[in-house]
Structure 1
Amino acid sequence: MAGSHHVGSESSLASPSDQPHRTAFHFQPPKNWMNDPNGPMYYNGVYHFFYQHNPFGPLFNPQMYWAHSVSRDLINWTPLNHAFAPTQPFDINGCWSGSATILPGNKPVILYTGLDSEHHQVQNLAVPKDLSDPYLQEWVGYTGNPVINLPDGIQHDDFRDPTTAWLANDGKWRVIIGSQKDKKGIAFLYRSEDFVNWSMHESPLYEVAGTGIWECPDFFPVCVDSNNGVDTSVMNSRVKHVLKVGLYDYTRDYYLIGSYTPEKESFVPQNELTLDALRYDYGKYYASKSFFDPVKNRRILMGWVNESDSETDCIAKGWSGLQSFPRSIWLDQNQKQLVQWPIEEIKMLHENEVSIQNMNLEGGSIHEIVGITASQADVKISFKLTNLEKAEELDMSGIDPQVFCSEMDASKKGKFGPFGLLALASHDLFEQTAIFFRVFQNNGRYTVLMCSDQSRSSTRNGLDKTTYGAFVDIDPQQDEISLRTLIDHSIVESFGGGGKTCITARVYPTLAIGDDARLFAFNYGTESVLISELSAWSVKKARINIEETIGCT
């Protein structure tokens, strides 16, 4: 099953000046197409990351391969040969997404979707060829593949992406697989005692009419009283469960928090799945996958961040697709939503710290943040607001925050807001990506809106410059309004309210590139705001998918 193709070397690309939108610390292959993250895991001192890869070009092709990179720190990644190639009858038309599970005895296995010789989506099992190889470079398919066939009554292309499996007290493994029937999204549940012979449970784990196909599902426990992550098989009174599904029709990842009872195979969420339900990220972010990291007792999340330029642009660049910077993910103290935050290892790449405390930002003013590389940066800023009784009166119930952010872009003056950051800005602000907040009141309650405005992000036409928006569940009377933004040439990842609301955007500046990019704090509202604290760093370039000699230590 190990492929003969290599992901290649970054040296095969044009010089950085010819590739101003390649990133420095976000995972991407040296060239060609990448989409879903697959099978992330930690095993014997090494982090493994697999991903959907077209080794033959920068556009999607259903005949996917699993590319494979390894790391000891989740920052620097070494490329290996492809783990899976579409060569067998059970995956000849594509090796699609799947997940890793560590079996008792410390044995890693992978379940993945194959497009078989009849173009049916079936589920296959693979194991490492040599467990003594520290990098698990070769994988072999089970001789009896597929281990799970297409269910009766399901369309041939509507059954995919098995999750990491979990083990209940009855000694049976469980896994869910995304599907649909008549536009009803379905998480089919399968059980097995030996990880080879699987049987479908009589009812799905969960299903919702009218949501279309669910893909890249994820199902995992989160602690109710700790930021720590737990293994996928943990089930007790101290955890709730998260069901995440990718809605293909909308390319969005939604999640539900609820209670799981394995004896009844019952998942009861706190809220319904609608298009207004909670999302991991309210920008460009999809097909995410999480895994438990036993080294630091945390759950780590990665997601695919697609391009916002054209296929013609991708062909010219020779590549397409990024992964988000790895995020720690946990249950908020209020138990109503998840919180995400860049993993702490990013500190390895920090340099040239600049900081500001207690600086008043008058209405209509900007302040340039100098001393860092603005095209490759990590910035944290907290705003303190006083005189909140002056906030604009507006009933935000029933308002679509993305539409509102689009109509009330960064140039539209309010009272409290817009205030935030101008990232990847040119010196004259002709180009800018604005990440900002607005605060409104209604009947004595305050609403915080977070926007990421890409409308002026590039002088180029033919780009998707969609503006994104979402609410942040904080009370500005009690809490400062904080923003953390990772800036990396063509990706802007923003975390509002300490990671309660995340928005990722792709941008393609023509002026604000390299050393010509600037970073500003701004306040275009009429009321002043206080920057209580600002810290910003240049972020050094990570070693990502640069070929190295793989040793045996």
Structure 2
Amino acid sequence: MDRYKPKYHFTPPCNWMNDPNGPFQRNGEYHLFYQHNPDAPEWGQIHWGHAKSLDLVNWEHLPIALAPSRDLGEQHCYSGCAVVDGQDVRLFYTSIGEGERNATIGAQQWTVKRDSEDLLSWHKPEFNPVLTGELHGDLQVTEWRDPYVWKEQDGWKMLTGGIHEDKGVALIYRSDNLEEWSFERIYYKGEEGIFECPHIFRFGDKAVLFYSPSAPVQYVTGPWSAEGLKEVEGRGTVDTGGWDGYYASTGFVDEAGRCILLGWMPECRGEDFPVQLDWNGALALPRVVELKPSGRIAMTPVPELASLRGESVTFADVLISEEQSLDTGISSTTFEAAIEIKKPAANAAQVLTISVLASPDGREHTDVRIDFAAGTITLDRSNSSLFSGVRKADMVSELILQEGEESVQLRLFVDQSVVELFAGDEICMTARVYPSLEDSNRILLQSSGEVQISSLEIWEMRAANIS
């Protein structure tokens, strides 16, 4: 058993996984697809894996849903989405071939229809492709990929990502029947060099556009219009993890009306890592997304995760200082912690450090560090592992405190090689860490000055049923 394989985060049954694709809920059942190489724990010959769940926590792996059609010239089935239209379910994806059908200049958008009520068999209609680059006319778009489809009052809409004039763009299309599409315009153009996996959430007359620019996932918000996102009211980073922890997000609206966000967590082991992988990649915890009046988004883990909580330990009104640290006495590599920290007086120079996966000899530890004077929160991996070659870069974010707030609220999820931090409801940090020592499992708190911990509760997390 690989000690670094997460126990309650979604992982493939074996071999490679990257982007989540086409999640939806139908008749109370959640379905998830994902980029998958069924033959090796490395990127290549991309298929779509498939799983289902009743609660977004426990998952049943299903047969592969989508494979490249070699007889049609396909080499890969890149990312895309699912569309539920009454009792009908369709998949849309980017079809990649060889030669002129390469990913840079020759991508096509294809659709897939279900063959069975249980969604275990699918077929590609003969009218594929449903979109080709010729739709763009004189507009030159490269790295064109990752369709995302939803319904508006005037018909079906599709977003794709790509590059135009060396900048990342999200492009928008329209259809009456999900089969015949027309190009409308560039919906949004950024300053980054590429847009991957664009997707959108609608909140009344507002829209939130997410995109992955080969860097931390970004979002922009503003009034919805098919004419494009002209007025940006808010923007931000979804997760500072980037390629190191969180990428290629996608989202869907479930039957309860919740906007659910999913993202991929890459492996970050060095080439000389001593453990041979038979799996690669995992998904971050599903998040519920809401839009705030400020134009920023709020993100919280789905409440269904509480079903995995086991025994807990609680601390209340603990003063941490340079002379007085807190050793929780807990040894765990799979837990959730909820921490409320009283905000120190203005201009206080305290730096609170929460260490997890810490070894008794102090050689290994992963630190969440809050610098109240600087107004920053850092996920520090510089001492996470004695192995060489693993990624150890810090993740830093502004510490966002709403006016009048007197405390900082943290949710911290640790799962073998995953550290997922929620600070308030706007900051998320996801990292992969690989302690080398068998006893790197302690939870400690220390501070450079007096900091009041109003409450700290730590739950041991049971393994999810992912089979």
Give the TM interval when normalised to the shorter protein: over 0.9
> What is the SS of the residue equivalent to 2:397?
strand
User: Equivalent residue for 1:149?
Assistant: 132
Alignment of 1:290-309 (within 5 A): 290-294=251-255, 296-309=256-269
User: For the structure 1 residues 142 and 167, does the alpha-carbon distance in structure 2 shift closer, same or farther, using more than 3 Å as the test?
Assistant: farther
Listed as ranges, the gaps of 5+ residues in structure 1 are: 1-15, 223-235, 272-276, 392-414, 441-446, 547-553
Alignment of 1:349-368 (within 5 A): 349-368=308-327
- Cα separation, 2, equivalents of 1:268 and 1:352: 48
- Cα separation, 2, equivalents of 1:99 and 1:246: 15
Alignment of 1:43-122 (within 5 A): 43-61=26-44, 63-88=45-70, 92-103=74-85, 105-117=86-98, 118-119=101-102, 120-122=106-108
> What is the SS of the residue equivalent to 2:336?
strand
The code of the aligned residue for 2:65 comes to A
- Cα separation, 2, equivalents of 1:383 and 1:207: 40
User: Equivalent residue for 1:518?
Assistant: 442
**CA deviation map 1:437-456 (0-9, x unaligned):** 1112xxxxxx6211000000
User: Equivalent residue for 2:149?
Assistant: 164
1:429 and 2:359 matched = no
CA contact (8 A) 1:26 1:322 kept: yes
User: Equivalent residue for 1:409?
Assistant: none
User: For the structure 1 residues 317 and 87, does the alpha-carbon distance in structure 2 shift closer, same or farther, using more than 3 Å as the test?
Assistant: same
Deviation at 1:189, TM superposition (A): 0.9
User: Equivalent residue for 1:229?
Assistant: none
1:369 and 2:325 matched = no
User: For the structure 1 residues 356 and 339, does the alpha-carbon distance in structure 2 shift closer, same or farther, using more than 3 Å as the test?
Assistant: same
* CA RMSD in angstroms, aligned pairs only: 2.0
Deviation at 1:306, TM superposition (A): 0.7
User: Equivalent residue for 1:243?
Assistant: 209
**CA deviation map 1:391-446 (0-9, x unaligned):** 2xxxxxxxxxxxxxxxxxxxxxxx221x1421111112211000121112xxxxxx
CA contact (8 A) 1:422 1:519 kept: yes
Deviation at 1:89, TM superposition (A): 5.4
- Cα separation, 1, equivalents of 2:341 and 2:452: 5
- Cα separation, 2, equivalents of 1:90 and 1:420: 56
User: Equivalent residue for 1:402?
Assistant: none
Listed as ranges, the gaps of 5+ residues in structure 2 are: none
User: Equivalent residue for 1:491?
Assistant: 418
- Cα separation, 1, equivalents of 2:139 and 2:358: 49
Q: Identity percentage over the alignment?
A: 31
- Cα separation, 2, equivalents of 1:91 and 1:532: 61
- Cα separation, 1, equivalents of 2:163 and 2:402: 39
- Cα separation, 2, equivalents of 1:32 and 1:50: 15
- Cα separation, 1, equivalents of 2:221 and 2:168: 17
1:501 and 2:427 matched = yes
CA contact (8 A) 1:90 1:122 kept: no
User: For the structure 1 residues 500 and 45, does the alpha-carbon distance in structure 2 shift closer, same or farther, using more than 3 Å as the test?
Assistant: same
CA contact (8 A) 1:438 1:450 kept: yes
User: Equivalent residue for 1:324?
Assistant: 284
The equivalent position to 1:253 in structure 2, one of 213, 217, 222, is 217
User: Equivalent residue for 1:278?
Assistant: 236
- Cα separation, 2, equivalents of 1:319 and 1:113: 24
Deviation at 1:99, TM superposition (A): 0.7
- Cα separation, 1, equivalents of 2:272 and 2:436: 17
The equivalent position to 1:540 in structure 2, one of 456, 462, 465, is 462
User: Equivalent residue for 2:167?
Assistant: 184
Q: How many residues align?
A: 457
- Cα separation, 1, equivalents of 2:63 and 2:338: 38
- Cα separation, 2, equivalents of 1:266 and 1:121: 25
User: For the structure 1 residues 309 and 160, does the alpha-carbon distance in structure 2 shift closer, same or farther, using more than 3 Å as the test?
Assistant: same
**CA deviation map 1:259-297 (0-9, x unaligned):** 1124x45542225xxxxx511101221001111111x33
User: Equivalent residue for 1:269?
Assistant: 232
The code of the aligned residue for 1:377 comes to F
- Cα separation, 1, equivalents of 2:38 and 2:261: 25
Q: Which moved more, 1:191-200 or 1:52-61?
A: 52-61
- Cα separation, 2, equivalents of 1:86 and 1:153: 30
Deviation at 1:315, TM superposition (A): 7.9
- Cα separation, 2, equivalents of 1:56 and 1:154: 38
- Cα separation, 2, equivalents of 1:75 and 1:162: 26
User: Equivalent residue for 1:347?
Assistant: 306
TM-score with structure 2 length normalisation? Answer: 0.93
User: For the structure 1 residues 184 and 385, does the alpha-carbon distance in structure 2 shift closer, same or farther, using more than 3 Å as the test?
Assistant: closer
> What is the SS of the residue equivalent to 1:112?
strand
The equivalent position to 2:181 in structure 1, one of 190, 198, 208, is 198
User: Equivalent residue for 1:462?
Assistant: 389
**CA deviation map 1:95-137 (0-9, x unaligned):** 010011221x232211111113533211111121112x2xx11
CA contact (8 A) 2:267 2:432 kept: yes
User: Equivalent residue for 1:394?
Assistant: none
- Cα separation, 2, equivalents of 1:489 and 1:474: 30
> What is the SS of the residue equivalent to 2:162?
strand
